[in-house]
Structure 1
Amino acid sequence: MKIFILGDSLALPRPHRIKSFNPEVDKELAVHFDETYGCLLQNELLNAYPTVRFSVTNRAQRLTTIKDIADQFSDHLFYFQPDVIVMQVGIVDCWIRDELGGKQLVDIVEFEQYYHAILTLLQKRPETKLIVVGICPTSMKMEMRYPGILQQISLYNQVLKSGENHHQVFFMEMESYINSHNPQVYLLPDDHHLNKKGNELISRRLVEIIKAFQENVTGCKMFETDAELSYKHFIKSHEIFPYFGDNLYNLIYLSYQMQDWGKTVEYIKFVRMNQIQHPALPQLVDMIKEQMNS
């Protein structure tokens, strides 16, 4: 499974004081490469699935905006053909900048336009999944310095979340984890970049989603030869991350075929309750309802 990380400096190693960093003096970084969430993610997946080939390629760059990602997204998507893209972007775009007279590098209208351009391209390669990491809130200290910045972060996050469909696009929100009154549980003292615990947090949450992807893939491969074992992998995927539309489709289809009708109804209710989208789910559910009522 090929995983690509696209984004800004939050996915990168970080010195304690980047503006005064001296490599001859500052040997210890705030976050080393092997402590970034991309590196942690790869190690965890390789440990969990030693027989599966996982690769995590980190192509994040400092000061990256969603425009930068949109401009290069076609190359990343079609030339490298990743199975999963992790995209963490937005804080550079929405930050209120003194040098711009209080304006932002990318206003929210442009931000939404570039995001839609990315999603449109993504649809052309439906086998690639996109996990969008939400923008981390900053501190109350920064809110006092840049009034309205927390609201801007929330508004830009709403744009990112709007693309989620639980089928090809998944949104990983960060606002419920980072407390603006005490952000340094997960952020460095600049109230912006991830510290070691912040990287561990994102890695843990990515591992859950990608493990669910992998269990679903394994279940699909076993479907023709061992339906019961295939069903177990689909169930495991659902237990790890229940909001995965592809896996729910497989669970509904296979539970019905195996006459586990109580579970079939349970999964259908879950889909409706959580508004899970999948291009083939409505047709499957209608077919099952018709057969059950006949």
Structure 2
Amino acid sequence: MKVLFIGDSITEWGRHGDPEDIGTGYVRLIHDYFVTLYPNKQFTFLNRGVGGNRITDLAERWQQDAIAPNPDVISISIGINDVWRQIDHPEMEQVSVKQFEHLYVDLLTQVKEKTNAKIILMEPTVIDEDVESRGNQLLPNYVAVIRKVAQQFDATLVPTHRAFIDYLKANNGYKLTTDGVHMNSTGNMLMATTWIQAAGERLK
């Protein structure tokens, strides 16, 4: 079974220094979970995360990185930079909610038309470990798009945004990120366990 993960730096995390090109983030944890739990099953995990990507960047490389490998399962994690760039680089041309939805629908239409892949959509996580941060106030509109297109395309939704917000509300003081966005080991574990709980059946 070929499982392809595509997204931004949170997905990419460490893959360029990894001989297996899987990385050291949540993709590695999911890989290790399934390889050890099902040792008699043949898995191929592909990491196609690229740092800084927004959905516009995914659209430019979609055929080469998502369609051409012809995966059995494709997991998409995008949206953080579509919001974060509005905060840290407001001078850039921004991706509106409407454009985000239009592009996401186009990408998923291509998956449906050109592959037989099962589709898994991950919600973007958080921008700053503060529920009231500007980033976390802007993210829900993009999260809503992902929930909508998940229903539209019969995709499995991984509620990573909800999981992270619930964790922050618990206020136990243990950090999930290195800088408010990029995951430390605990944040990667929360992403991986949320993914496995929501989408693990797709790999059986």
- Normalised-by-shorter TM-score class: 0.7 to 0.9
2:139 corresponding residue in structure 1: 153
2:161 aligned with 1:171, yes or no?
Answer: no
Partner in structure 1 of residue 87 of structure 2:
97
1:162 counterpart (135, 148, 157): 148
The offset of 1:35, in angstroms, is 3.8
In structure 2, C-alpha distance between the alignment counterparts of 1:127 and 1:173, rounded to whole Å:
23
Shift, 1:117, TM fit? 0.7
- Residue 128 of structure 1 deviates from its aligned partner by 0.3
Provide the residue aligned with 1:44 in structure 2.
33
Give the whole-Å Cα distance in 2 for the aligned partners of 1:132 and 1:183. Answer: 28
1:1-294 matches, cutoff 5 A = 1-13=1-13, 35-95=24-84, 96-101=86-91, 105-125=94-114, 127-139=116-128, 143=132, 147=134, 149-165=135-151, 168-179=154-165, 180=168, 182=171, 185=174, 187-215=176-204
Higher strand share: 2
Aligned residues with identical type, % of pairs: 23
* Secondary structure, counterpart of 2:45 in structure 1: strand
Q: Whole-Å Cα distance in 1 between the matches of residues 142 and 3 of structure 2? A: 25
CA contact (8 A) 1:136 1:174 kept: yes
Deviation, structure 1 residue 187: 2.4
**1:6-61 C-alpha deviation (Å, 9 max, x unpaired):** 111112336xxxxxxxxxxxxxxxxxx76411111111111111111111111101
Q: Assess, with a 3 A threshold, how the Cα gap between structure 1 residues 168 and 125 changes in structure 2: closer, same or farther.
A: farther
Q: Is the 8 A contact 1:186 1:194 kept in 2?
A: no
Q: For structure 1, list consecutive stretches of 5 or more residues without a partner in the other structure.
A: 15-32, 216-294
Measured in 2, the distance between the counterparts of 1:142 and 1:99 equals 21
In the alignment of these two chains, the number of paired residues is 193
Indicate how the Cα distance of structure 1 residues 163 and 80 shifts in structure 2: closer, same or farther if over 3 A, else same: same
Is contact 2:160–2:194 with CA below 8 Å preserved after alignment?
A: no
Q: Given that residues 9 and 64 in structure 1 are in contact (C-alpha distance below 8 angstroms), is that contact kept between their aligned partners in structure 2?
A: yes
The aligned residue for residue 19 of structure 1 is none
Q: Which residue of 2 aligns with 1:227?
A: none
Change (3 A) 1:183 1:134: farther
The letter of the residue matching 1:65 is R
The alignment's C-alpha RMSD in Å is 2.7
Give the alignment's TM-score, normalised by structure 2: 0.81
Greater relative contact order (Cα < 8 A, sep 6+): 2
Deviation at 1:154, TM superposition (A): 0.5
Is the alpha carbon distance of 1:3 and 1:214 closer, same or farther for their aligned partners in structure 2, counting shifts above 3 Å?
closer
Instruction: Judge conservation of contact 1:3–1:83 (CA < 8 Å) in 2.
Output: yes
**Alpha-carbon distance in 2 for matches of 1:194, 1:135:** 12
Distance of aligned partners of 1:186 and 1:83 in 2 relative to their CA distance in 1, 3 Å threshold: farther
Q: Is the 8 A contact 2:5 2:47 kept in 1?
A: yes
Offset at 1:207? 2.9
What is the TM-score with the length of structure 1 in the denominator?
A: 0.58
Contact 1:128–1:168 under 8 Å retained in 2? no
Amino acid at match of 2:147: K
